[in-house]
Structure 1
Amino acid sequence: MKQINLLALLLSLMVLGTACQNRQNRNEQAPENIRVSNTPVPSWSKDAVIYEVNIRQYTPEGTFNAFAEHLPRLKELGVDILWLMPVHPIGEKNRKGSLGSYYSIKDYKGINPEFGTLDDFKALVQKAHEMDMHLILDWVANHTAWDHPWIAEHPQWYTKNEAGEIIPPVEDWTDVADLDYSNAQLREAMIDAMAYWVKEADIDGFRCDVAGMVPVDFWEAAREALENIKPVWMLAEDEAEINLLNNAFNANYGWEFHHIMNGVAKGEKNALDVAAYFQKIDTLYPKGSWPMQFTSNHDENSWNGTAPERLGKALKTMAALTFTVEGMPLIYSGQEVGLNKRLRFFDKDTIEWKESEMTPFYQTLTKLKKENPALWNGTAGGHLQIITTNAPENIFAFVREKENNRVVAFFNLSDQSVSLFSENGPQGNFTDLFSGNTVSLPADGLLLQPWDFKIFIHY
């Protein structure tokens, strides 16, 4: 069990009291029945598409400099935020595989020499900024490697069992040791390490690993400290602890929607499950925050299968969904060229870069998102309103509107053809995204083939 540190508890209560006062001041104009996120939202995130970078597997060299050669291509793809998996030295004690896990950190202020030098990393950040992209680091605050210096220097910073032995956070995570956030000195050291990268390398924020396993008030204190340096954007790898979105994080993981999409592709779920999810997040998420929506990421790809493997004929359908529903869409390394390989997690396994129909497809989706404020993130975008149709189990239909911009979408989430009739959809002339033709809505009798989808735009 984690031992309770009285000083840390008092500090936590002070931070929480300040946060509550800030919430009260900021929300004076908000209706009482609407939860509002007080987390600062950088302007550059409002229409952003995020891209996860697996440096180890990205090129044969597996270095920052080799990856930097891909930045022009990613800019053309429409990427805005580059999320780099952890770049720190990896622990050797209890290491898994030949190269170990990115998430077993031996030095929070160091660079994995396999990837290059600190100067190489700084150059990558600068080049991304020059191309009007932003870069965030994957941060592992919950645990360290077993050979991190803190183990010897500050054993009181770690969780211990009844025998006084340091333990992993999860039994199977044998390559890492769990940190104890009841210790105020640990909190101070962790925030100092995060601030180092913002000050030293000018990064733009963090994706925080297993964020829900670290106390909310720590993240709130960390966010406040970082904002004193520069505006940042933060993503929580979490979905259960919604309070992370109140004052610390801008977005969390849309895990539930991800699993629903997988279930729909297998015929185990249907469009009603999709509709229920978005009706739920309407009331669940604080206004101004949003989920990150994805069909793949490093965990899903390595452990549960590639997107083509899991989604089959529904691959493009689900990808298009993540770009049009509420939330920020993610592209994982290689998805833009149809990656259909489970990348090894603890060993070298280079992505094969090739021509693919998925590249122009993703370019179309990123362009769609940027050019249509209705599809932007959080309060910058339009609310998703479900359209009732004659086939609610098969068709997920919705409209999103912001100012004079409307986007209407019809998704056939089944392997059956459907002749579509809508009951409460918008009317008027719209442009078909893929054909460029003008279409008059409601398009009653519209035939949607299996896994077919239509996206219509009105300005």
Structure 2
Amino acid sequence: MQQPGPPRFCTVGESIELAPRDPDPNASYEWSVHEKPTQSELSTPEETVWHVEPDVPGIYRFELETPDGQYVQRVRAFPDVRRLTSFDLERGRLPDHDPDDVSLMGPFNEHLFDREHPTLEDGIYQYEIDLPPGTHRYGYIAGDDFENAVWEEVEVPGPGKPRVFLEGPDDPVDGSETTITADTTPGTDSEYDADELAVEFYVDDRDELTDDDLEVDSQEARVPIADLEGPVRIHAVAVGERHSIADCVIVHPDGRVERRNDPPEWARDAVVYEIFVRSFTDEATFESLERRIPYLESLGVDCLWLTPVLESPTKHGYHITDYFDTASDLGTREEFESFVDRCHESGIRVVFDLVINHTAREHAAFDMSAACVPEYEDWYVWESLEESGVDPDELAPEIGSENPREDYAPPARTTPDGETEVAQYYFNWRGIPNVNYDSLAVRSLFLSVVDEWVDVVDGFRCDVAWGVPHGFWKEIYERVKSQDSEFLLLDETVPREPEYAESEFDVHYDTTLYSALRDVGNGDRSGDAVLEAATAPRREGFPEWSLHMRYVENHDETRYLEECGPQAQRAAVTAVLTLPGVPMIYYGQERGATEYRQLMPWEGDGEATTFHRRLVDARHESPALSRGELVDVDWEVVSEGDSDAVVAYARETDDETVAVVLNFGADPVHVRVDRDLEPTDLVTGEERDLERADEGTVLEVEDAAVVPVRSDK
């Protein structure tokens, strides 16, 4: 199966990576350009892994010659929507510094340090760049002072991405064709109405039909099924000023249409609990984790996310030295599988960290690559000293120094020609060099890693997902889903990007809500920011099927309780567990933990634990809280108090509506909402004192209220 994959969609000037799937590192592969738009000057590459940048809009058809035969890869390029913008910062916002030492980084350059340098004019640092419409984050760093880096955002004006959702018959159909319907939504600030959006349908080149077999009428496609011998994948994008994330369905020979991109059904109702594995118990072993499963049962969580459990020299485990065995300090593979089995008996799924953007610097492959062993020479991204941005004075003082790793010197090697090269790494992560996905051997290795664990756990949380090519994630997605359609893929992409929802990941980090909850808890933004963040995925162009993991803290962040206090924490946790998405609890937040990777405070805050248990129970027991639509309510603070610290909303289904009122402030407030509320709080179980007023209800809110709306039925 070396066919390079489904049709790809991009804009002019955007680079996409094309590669053979499941490659043989010792085989020969050759690309050719079969078709391209008339004005395109794109030429055939010499590389097996091709980073292609379409130069004009249109459809490109490439062919890949492999030992198994010839395969087609199509790319649809849309017009360039980037606009010139500037990353600006006042000089005085950085600590004392030499302007020559200032650099900036962010998602725009994959967080590579000391690569981009601004100009300084009239006390303002400026860096001009072409970017698509949307919010873009950047950080200025003086020297190597990451701790005092200044992070900002700039909004590039312009319409957002439209959205498309494909549907078709769930049951077999009579007749010789079946119909796929596209439900479209215009992007934010678009001049198009939904029915004015064009929809482009594409048959997957790996399947038996062609585009010419489809009969397309506006936003519908009729697919012939009379002679189908097997399933056919149909992809579609909505097109206005910009193009949408592509959706995909599978048409079966009997006319049934199966959605391809939907996340596992169980994930829609799951409550995730993250465990930092070496801090959850004193013993820090799989056996000790297994003995604590009754506690997890008592919380009512459905899914565990474990930080890395594979061999590593670090406490956090993200520097991996052996991908095919568990960490020796945690226990044997048999003990890990016993823990997973015991979780399954309790109805708890287990997701663990898949770390494939980098390896530990201590990994055997890195040693051999650094030593220029031919088979491993290209396993990592090696750059010239000048290209890397590393100051020569930061390198080990001399070739053969005793242990540059202990001094945290940049990872480097000397080539047979005597040239110094530095292994690429993100931020200041010198201990975890980036692997090179242009190497077929690297791709083959990590596909083997996926195969090794896919039958053991229920999903992967994919670390630094933004550093791994989209094409490889698409290959992993198809690989794991073909073995287990209920397998979960969660991406760590910071900030999140809708492109990772296109047949790559089921659930995405919600850094937007995380930041909003921190800002509201600190009094830096009003409570309305919570709802603005909760609805941001639509504005950002995420498709309807995408799920977002909501949380107040994780293993990379400070504790919310320590930063914002207990009352704000109760409001924030209530938001996480009553908003749409996949809520996540980080171990210890329910026990009063104040340090981000501290030992689990087993003798901690029982009252907070009870509050978390009741919230989880309320979410599980209320269809509105778990799957209901998020709807606005009119509300106002009618007593003295900080109205900016308050927000209210409702979740509703056809049969149930639940109102949620949150108060992040220090003092209780009386809030009027425009709904007729029931008195029983779904979390505390207590009867609230309610006052009917002005076609609504007034209630006192100390931190959070979760109450049913009286039904008119």
- Sort the TM-score into its range (normalised by shorter chain): 0.7 to 0.9
Moved more, 247-256 or 28-37: 28-37
SS at match of 1:446: strand
Say whether the 8 Å CA contact 2:509–2:549 is kept in structure 1: yes
What are the within-5 Å matches in structure 2 for residues 37-76 of structure 1? 38-76=260-298
CA distance in 1, matches of 2:274, 2:585: 6
Compute the displacement of 1:383 (Å): 2.0
Look up the match of 1:297: 554
Contact persistence 1:420–1:444 (CA under 8 A): no
1:103 deviation in Å?
Answer: 0.6
Ranges of 4+ aligned residues in structure 1 off by more than 4 Å:
10-20, 23-27, 34-38, 438-445
Residue 370 of structure 1 deviates from its aligned partner by 0.8
CA distance in 1, matches of 2:545, 2:166: 16
Q: 1:9 aligns with which of 31, 50, 57?
A: 50
> How much has 1:307 moved relative to structure 2?
2.3
Give CA deviations for 1:233-272 in whole Å, capped at 9, x if unaligned. 1111113322112211111111121121111121111112
Q: Which amino acid aligns with 1:233?
A: L
Q: Residue 591 of structure 2 corresponds to which residue in structure 1?
A: 337
2:468 to 211, 214, 238: 214
**Greater shift in the superposed pair: 433-442 or 250-259:** 433-442
CA distance in 2, matches of 1:45, 1:130: 18
Following the alignment from structure 1 to structure 2, what is the Cα–Cα distance between the partners of residues 47 and 36? Answer: 25
Alpha-carbon separation, structure 2, partners of 1:386 and 1:36: 29
Give 3-state SS (helix, strand or coil) of 1:288's partner: coil
- Give the Cα–Cα distance (whole angstroms) in 2 for the partners of residues 383 and 256 of structure 1: 19
Q: How does 1:427-446 map to 2 (within 5 A)?
A: 427=676, 429=678, 431-433=680-682, 434-437=684-687, 444=696, 446=698
What letter is aligned with 1:61? E
Structure 1 length as normaliser, TM-score?
0.85
> Is this contact kept in 2: 1:36–1:287, CA < 8 A?
no
Structure 1 window deviating more from structure 2 (359-368 vs 160-169): it is 160-169
Aligned counterpart in structure 2 of residue 243 of structure 1, from 482, 486, 499: 499
Q: Secondary structure at the match of 2:708?
A: strand
Q: Does 1:321 pair with 2:536? A: no
Classify the secondary structure of the residue corresponding to 2:537.
helix
Letter in 2 for 1:221: E
Equivalent of 1:255 in 511, 516, 539:
511
1:366 is aligned with what amino acid? V
Change (3 A) 1:267 1:129: same
Match of 2:384 in 1: 162
Q: Verify: 1:383 aligned to 2:629, yes or no.
A: yes
Tell me, yes or no, if the aligned pair for 1:19 and 1:247 is still in contact at 8 Å.
no
Q: Which amino acid aligns with 1:315?
A: Q
Measure the CA separation in 1 of the matches of 2:327 and 2:539: 42
1:148 aligns with 2:404: no
Give SS of 1:191's match: helix
Instruction: Give the number of aligned pairs.
Output: 431
Match in the other structure for 2:489: 234
Does the Cα contact within 8 Å between 2:496 and 2:508 map onto a contact in 1? Answer: no
Structure number with the higher strand fraction is 2
1:286-319, Cα deviation, whole Å (9 max, x unpaired)? 112122111111111xxxx322101203111111
How far off is 1:401 after superposition?
1.1
What displacement does 1:24 show? Answer: 9.1
Q: Is the 8 A contact 2:691 2:699 kept in 1?
A: no
Partner residue in 2 for 1:397: 648
- 8 Å CA contact retained: 1:51, 1:79: yes
Contact 2:677–2:708 (Cα < 8 Å) also in 1? no
Preserved contact between residue 111 and residue 118 of structure 1 (Cα < 8 Å)? yes
| Deviations, residues 325-355 of structure 1 (Å, cap 9, x unaligned) | 1221111122222212343xxxxx5323115
Q: Which has the higher contact order (CA 8 A, sep 6+)?
A: 1
Partner of 1:311: 564
What runs of 5+ residues in structure 2 fail to find an aligned partner?
1-16, 18-44, 54-61, 65-70, 77-163, 169-179, 187-244, 248-259, 369-374, 386-419, 638-642
Tell me which amino acid in the other structure corresponds to 1:107: D
Match of residue 357 from structure 1? 607
Fraction of identical pairs, as percent = 26
Q: CA contact under 8 A between 1:270 and 1:414: conserved in structure 2? A: no
What does residue 349 of structure 2 align with?
A: 134
Match of 2:193? none
Distance 2:624 2:377 in 1: 51
Q: 1:119 to 1:351 in 2, by over 3 A?
A: same
Is structure 2 residue 306 aligned with structure 1 residue 88? no
1:395 is displaced (CA, Å) by 2.6
2:635 touches 2:672 (CA, 8 Å); kept in 1?
yes
Q: Note if contact 2:166-2:183 (Cα within 8 Å) is conserved in structure 1.
A: no
Structure having the higher helix fraction is 1
1:193-215 Cα shifts (integer Å, max 9, x gaps): 0121013xx21010111111212
- The root-mean-square deviation of aligned C-alpha atoms, in Å, is 3.1
Q: What CA distance in whole angstroms lies between the structure 2 residues aligned with 1:147 and 1:403?
A: 56
Asked whether 1:367 is paired with 2:617, we answer: yes
- Asked whether the equivalents of residues 670 and 698 of structure 2 are also in contact (C-alpha less than 8 Å), the reply is yes
Identify unmatched segments of 5+ residues in structure 1. Answer: 92-98, 344-348
| Bigger mean CA offset, 25-34 vs 235-244 | 25-34
Q: Distance in 2 between matches of 1:193 and 1:81?
A: 22
- Look up the equivalent residue of 2:349 and give its one-letter code: H
What SS does structure 2 have at the residue aligned with 1:176? coil
Cα distance per residue 1:347-380 (max 9 Å; x no partner)? xx5323115111211110111111112222xxxx
CA distance in 2, matches of 1:25, 1:436: 44
Q: Which has the larger radius of gyration?
A: 2
The answer as to 2:454 corresponding to 1:198 is yes
Equivalent pair of 2:379/2:435 in contact (CA under 8 Å)? yes
Mapped contact 1:430–1:441 kept (Cα < 8 A): no
CA–CA distance in 2 between the matches of 1:403 and 1:374?
9
Q: CA deviation at 1:48?
A: 0.6
- Aligned equivalents of 2:302, 2:72: Cα separation in 1: 33
Q: Residues 139 and 207 of structure 1 are in contact (CA less than 8 Å); yes or no, is this contact kept in structure 2?
A: yes
Q: SS state of the match for residue 228, structure 1?
A: helix
